[in-house]
Amino acid sequence: MKTKQGMKQEKAQSLVEFAGALVVLVIILAGVVDLGRAIFTLFAMQDAAEEGIVFGTSFPTHCDQIRERIQYNLANEILPDDITVWVTIENNEGVQQSCDSIPVNNVYAGKEMQIEVTQTFNITMPLIGAFVGQTIPLKATANGIILRPQPPDY
């Protein structure tokens, strides 16, 4: 038969084990929440890049409007403002060139457009950040073929 002293020691031991297990479970849960936030952010960035491609393949010379459309799509989500958008179009040499600097007569049907959206995602949990770093670089890209007809020969 157990004494009162022995039962109190078992209860205290159980409480210490529970506290240790609870700390581990909270750390795992926080990591899952951070991972979920990162995946949500990446999906939102990919959706915005694809929205930009849909608009950009029809209006490839409207570079500012393409970026505005992407930013507007991202503004509907709960995302930070430090997202970078790059819009490039294949030039006549087959090299991707910035949408702002490519000559208009090089932009015609059949050329490839690429949109890249990048962001540095901050990890909120310091313990998890010690293993993977405090930031994770996220990048979403979308490619499309320009639909606008080729300009007439000059």
Strands, DSSP E only, in 18-91?
Answer: 84-90
pTM: 0.79
Q: What is the mean pLDDT of residues 66-83?
A: 84
* 119 phi, psi to nearest 5 deg: -160, 145
For 129, which DSSP code? Answer: H
Among 106, 98, 111, 109, which Cα is nearest to 66's? 98
Give the separation between CA 120 and CA 80, rounded to whole angstroms.
Answer: 10
Question: pLDDT confidence of 154, banded at 50, 70, 90?
Answer: very low
Average pLDDT, the chain: 86
76 pLDDT above the threshold of 60: yes
